Chains A and B, each alone.
Chain A
Amino acid sequence: MAERIPRVPVREQDPKVRAHNFEEVCYGYDLQEALREASRCLHCKNPRCVAACPVSIKIPEFIAKVKEGDITGAAAIIAEDSSLPAVCGRVCPQETQCEGSCILGVKGEPVAIGKLERFVADHTFTTEGDETISPERHATRGTEAGGPERNEVKQAVGAAEPTPEREILSPRKKVAIIGSGPAGLACASDLAKWGYEVTIFEALHKAGGVLEYGIPEFRLPKEKVLKREIDEVKALGVKIETDVIIGRTVTIDSLMDDEGFEAVFVGTGAGLPKFMGIPGENLNGVFSANEFLTRNNLMKAFRPDYLTPIHAGARCCVVGGGNVAMDAARTALRLGADTSIIYRRTEVELPARKEEVHHAKEEGVDFQMLTNPVEILGDEKGWVKALRCIRMELGEPDESGRRSPVPIPGSEFEIPTETVIMALGTAPNPLIVKTTSGLEATRRGGLVADEEGRTTRPGIFAGGDAVTGAATVILAMGAGRKAAKAIDEYLKTR
């Protein structure tokens, strides 16, 4: 089938301008653009995009609503499966999920599902103004939109599943969620909709997990987008307690034994930074991407009214090729550093979203591919002065099928730099396993859990990066939702 309308391009901030600010890069679609893009969807009978979505958003259905101009209706359809659409529309790797499976992509460009999702979510915010969203408001949303879809919307927002009404449990059973990142928020939303009394415990002083501390403002605005979606979760009745470190302030055992929580979901993510183990890593000017990004995102170092110090230097090397590496590099660039990405494979293997790589390049980040650091060199005061690297080539495919990089003997060279940021991935924090009886972890630190999130101890469930090691926001949300189902089953049979 010939494609009639080409994919509608999305407006973005000029790369030359945005390389110096932290405003959002992508402006998103306006209504006309969204309508035009939505009209491209073929509404396949057997939608491959839905199958490829970790939370199974009913994509053709929400796009059909957009087509009709019923954006509120579209939002209600998305809300059945995702509590964070404005976030996911911005940070999901659509090219390997929904859009990667879109039939239009076979011969041309897939439907811009991510951009449409974002449009729907943002549109809901703008039409709601600045008011806080109360549960009552959820119920009346259909009325505001008016029209025949009213009842449908009401029902859709009221239930996490299209299954019939549930009895509100009395007394409501208490569930504790550890971590307010994507896994925890998704799990909490479903459970709250089903009538459970849900409390999220967050170790940091703001909710959101990696969405707050890890992903930069220019990709995911905190006040405008993240805070509002978290407020929506709170409006479902979810309580969020910040500044509580489970395993230190209080343990899971005491939550269950003394505070009456009957089930616990561990969505603590993968927060421990990895280092390479090469000489010079403790020199001044070497940071984990976690430190660098947390200073800038959670602690707002980029804003002059905040006290947090940050040091990007005049020249910065970021080691790694994932989204975190791109985020760190583009942050360093915005703070004024001439920045390079150092990655041991080729551009094809870069694990980051294509859009991030593209944006980073547009903004002027330099890419050193097939390059691996071997040592960090310091000056006499103990500050970084150069990164010593070796060139790599791709050898035979390994067990995973990827061609593994092999060093080219004698190809060492030095890149003068003032800072080095290590973005090599992260591992789960061992604190919960250490302080909870009956929980087991794998050798790589992930909690042992089955497909539905059941851990080795009955009543304790887990999902997201805490189980799998560092992955994506949407996979964590998918795991959170699966675990919510398992928790529901567990508590109903108790």
Chain B
Amino acid sequence: MLTPNICKMVVSAPRIAKAAQPGQFLIVLSDEEGERIPLTISDYDRDLGTVTIVTQLVGASSAAIISKEEGEFFRDVVGPLGNPSTFISEGEEAHAGRRYIFIAGGLGTAPVYPQAKWLHDKGIPVDVIIGARTKDLLIYTEELSSACDNLYLCTDDGSVGFHGVGTACLEKLVSDGKVYTNAVAIGPMIMMKFATLTCKKLGIPIDVSLNMLMVDGTGMCGACRVTVAGKTRFACVDGPEFNGYDVDFDEAMRRLGQYKTEEAEEKAKYVK
């Protein structure tokens, strides 16, 4: 457990580990009666044949995933799904002169790690901001400190690092003279919305990773529909990362709550 609510799990899945790229996700089904839950890949080891996922206790299905002990099995793990991060498909030369800033919030910190590491390993300048409510809820601080040039911690209560949200931290960094050419935000939808607004103000292009509701994750159900640049896109096959400027965040937030009533009923039944 990384925090009382957030759990890191290393899953043996050789085929997936071999194919996984930063930015992609898995679908995990804990048990026969569970749901197919999309979880962004937080690390992978091609030699060991493992992939790492980090999940947070939200409802009955995530509780079932977290309840697994070391050595136990998930009923199913499938992936890697979605497209790798945009910067991975761009050629080496595209990165010349770029300076990346990642804004990570809560659970979204974990998938930032393989992305930052990928860039850092290639010598591309990358800074990371991690935000959480309080000090004890910050995750992946150790891993990230060796996967970027500068790591900035922020807490809402000021218990450690910058006192305030990640976007305020970014504004301060820029006003202090830091220069970034590209931003990536991963975290709660509301955080990504504000990160996008801030980046727009600062003139930095930004990619966001949308954690929409999904069933199959292969383009079949359309539950993950989201409006991007005025067009309906499927987060599972067209994303999960999109240009933040183009995303209709209010619609995305509303769609995330589509099964709230049903989920609350299930949670009440299973999580006591």
Neighbouring A residues of B179 by C-beta, 8 Å? none
Give the residue name and chain of the A residue nearest to B248 (CB).
A282
Q: Which of A203, A290, A291, A295 has the most CB of B within 10 A?
A: A291
A273 x B266 contact (CB < 8 A): no
Q: Verify B215–A309 contact, CB threshold 8 A.
A: no
Contact with A along B234-271 (1 / 0, CB 8 A): 00010000000000000100110111011100100010
With A250-B15, A311-B258, A311-B259 known to touch, is A205 a contact of B75 (CB < 8 Å)?
A: yes
Using C-beta atoms within 8 Å of the partner chain, give the interface range for chain B. Answer: 35 or more
Of the candidates B36, B60, B218, B263, the one having the most CB atoms from chain A within 10 angstroms of its own CB is B218
0/1 string, A202-213, CB within 8 A of B gives 1? 011100000001
- Once the chains are docked, how many angstroms separate the CA of A273 from the CA of B76? 24
Tell me, yes or no, whether B79 is within 8 Å of chain A by CB. Answer: yes
Q: Per-position contact with A for B93-134: 1 when CB-CB < 8 Å, else 0?
A: 000000000000000000000000000000000000000000
The answer to whether A271 has its CB under 8 Å from any CB of chain B is yes
Q: List 16 A-B contacts (CB under 8 A).
A: A203-B216, A205-B75, A205-B78, A242-B76, A271-B218, A271-B220, A273-B221, A282-B227, A307-B33, A307-B34, A307-B60, A307-B61, A309-B35, A311-B259, A381-B254, A429-B219
The closest CB in chain B to the CB of A293 belongs to B221
B81–A305 contact, CB under 8 A? no
A405 vs B3: C-alpha distance when bound (angstroms) = 60
| A290–B236 alpha-carbon span in the complex (Å) | 15
Give a binary string over A266-284; 1 marks a CB under 8 Å from any B CB, 0 the rest. Answer: 0000011101000001101
A271 contact set on B, CB distance < 8 A:
216, 218-220
> Assuming A281-B232, A282-B232, what are 16 further A-B pairs, CB within 8 angstroms?
A213-B216, A243-B76, A248-B19, A249-B19, A271-B218, A273-B222, A282-B226, A290-B221, A291-B223, A299-B35, A300-B33, A307-B60, A309-B35, A309-B263, A311-B261, A381-B254
Taking a contact as CB atoms under 8 Å apart, the answer to whether B251 and A429 are in contact is no
When distances are taken between beta carbons in the complex, the residues of chain A under 8 Å from B220 are 213, 271-273, 290, 294, 429
**Which residues of B are interface residues toward A (Cβ below 8 A)?**
15-16, 19, 29, 33-36, 60-61, 64, 75-81, 215-216, 218-223, 225-227, 232, 237, 251, 254-255, 257-259, 261-263, 266, 270
Q: Are A249 and B262 in contact (CB under 8 A)?
A: no
Given contacts A249-B19, A294-B215, contact A299 B36 (CB under 8 A): yes
Residues of A within 8 A of B215 (CB): 291, 294-295, 298-299
> Cα distance A282–B263 when bound, in Å?
20
The residue from A245, A285, A294 contacting B221, defined by CB atoms under 8 A apart: A294
